[in-house]
């Protein structure tokens, strides 16, 4: 096997990424080497590309970045028994300690010592990725490579959408990016009554137009109170899924949810926000923070949803060769895209 590979590296402490020739990672006895076929660009990758305040505090330089991928097993450590060379796989992007209280209790997604692939440790925007064998997830044949490459954010959506029982409920989703739209599709698929998704970006809302079962609302032009009246809703939404990471979006949910309503919080905020805590208290609202995926229940549920007809085909809008990564990031930074995939073969 060759000794070096091409990879997208955060090589300098400044905006941008650099395509470089680096050593193929060596694997330990408990790791797997994956030959990457496709990767998808995440919002986290945009933060790293822009080199914002969070990235400057978090990302070691230099480092290969990226964490959404699909590929084939190219080599296995001597202790690995859960896969073989040639297996088609994706993988959980959070590497946990397996020793803390939460890990030992089967709640690995709450491990306080989590390290993120492509965030804290070398990532998947490369020809090869070394990953613990325990993080490997085998991709069923009926799932195509494009969808498999974005199982990580799809898993975020599954975790968020299934945080509360949405069957027969009215659900408000704030943020019509790929994860928000996936959240809306999931809750509709499992039997929610009315599913409303909001944004102020018309291109994002247009992406949601591919799914007529979802009610699209530009909150810059239409109030959620009017939407409720049109839908003959009496007391407000039952459940809110806050994906936008926006102060206004969170307050929209708080203002338009019924007493005793439930809110799942996935979106990350750029700074401190203001929310009326008295409304949360007097309404008796249940707020739950969502980070990553439940390992590994979310992965199995994600496959089951696809197997039963969940359609995510319109979520991916663009595919680029990895050599053209700057154009891919520019397109994503414009806000005029859905999910973007990079080909590595």
d(CA 6, CA 23): 9
Beta carbons within 10 angstroms of residue 308's beta carbon: 9
Q: Dihedrals φ, ψ of 249, to 5°?
A: -65, -45
**Cα–Cα distance measured from residue 309 to residue 213, given in angstroms and rounded to the nearest whole number:** 14
Q: In the Cβ-directed half-sphere of 59, how many Cα atoms lie within 13 Å?
A: 32
- Residues 204, 178: Cα–Cα separation, whole Å: 8
Number of H helices and number of E strands within the chain?
12, 18
Nearby residues of 125 by Cβ (< 8 Å), 6 or more positions away: 7, 8, 17, 39, 45, 64, 65, 66, 118, 322, 325, 342
Three-state DSSP class for 186?
Answer: helix
159 counts as catalytic: no
Between CA 335 and CA 296 the distance in angstroms is 31
44 is catalytic: yes
Residue with tokens 């590296």: 9
Q: Cα–Cα–Cα angle for 185, 189, 191, nearest 5°?
A: 125
Element (H, E) at 259: strand 257-265
CA distance 282 to 18: 51
Catalytic residue among 39, 44, 174, 298: 44
Report the SS3 class of residue 74.
strand
End-to-end CA distance of the chain: give it in Å, rounded.
16
Task: Give the active site residue among 39, 47, 174, 194.
Answer: 47
Which residues are tagged catalytic? 44, 47
């Amino acid at each position: 096997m060759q000794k070096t590979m091409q990879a997208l590296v955060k090589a300098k402490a400044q905006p941008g990424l650099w395509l470089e020739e680096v050593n193929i990672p060596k694997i330990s006895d408990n790791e797997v080497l994956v030959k990457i076929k496709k990767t998808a660009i995440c919002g986290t990758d945009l933060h790293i590309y822009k080199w914002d305040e969070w990235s400057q505090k978090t990302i070691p330089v230099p480092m290969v970045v990226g964490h959404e991928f699909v590929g084939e097993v190219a080599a296995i450590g001597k202790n690995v028994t859960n896969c073989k060379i040639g297996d088609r796989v994706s993988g959980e992007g959070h590497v946990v300690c397996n020793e803390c209280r939460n890990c030992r209790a089967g709640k690995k997604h709450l491990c306080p010592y989590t390290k993120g692939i492509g965030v804290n440790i070398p990532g998947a925007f490369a020809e090869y990725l070394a990953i613990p064998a325990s993080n490997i997830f085998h991709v069923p044949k009926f799932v195509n490579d494009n969808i498999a490459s974005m199982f990580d954010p799809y898993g975020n959506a599954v975790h968020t959408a299934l945080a509360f029982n949405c069957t027969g409920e009215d659900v408000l989703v704030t943020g019509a990016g790929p994860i928000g739209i996936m959240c809306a599709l999931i809750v509709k698929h499992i039997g929610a009554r009315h599913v409303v998704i909001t944004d102020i970006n018309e291109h994002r809302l247009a992406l949601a137009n591919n799914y007529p079962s979802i009610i699209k609302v530009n909150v810059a032009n239409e109030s959620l109170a009017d939407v409720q009246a049109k839908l003959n809703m009496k007391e407000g939404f039952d459940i809110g899924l806050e994906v936008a990471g926006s102060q206004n979006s969170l307050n929209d949910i708080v203002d338009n949810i019924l007493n005793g309503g439930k809110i799942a919080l996935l979106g990350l905020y750029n700074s401190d926000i203001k929310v009326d805590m008295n409304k949360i208290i007097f309404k008796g609202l249940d707020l739950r923070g969502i980070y990553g995926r439940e390992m590994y229940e979310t992965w199995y549920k994600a496959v089951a949803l696809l197997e039963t007809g969940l359609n995510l085909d319109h979520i991916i809008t663009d595919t680029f060769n990895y050599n053209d990564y700057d154009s891919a990031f520019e397109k994503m930074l414009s806000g005029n895209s859905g999910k973007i995939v990079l080909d590595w073969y």
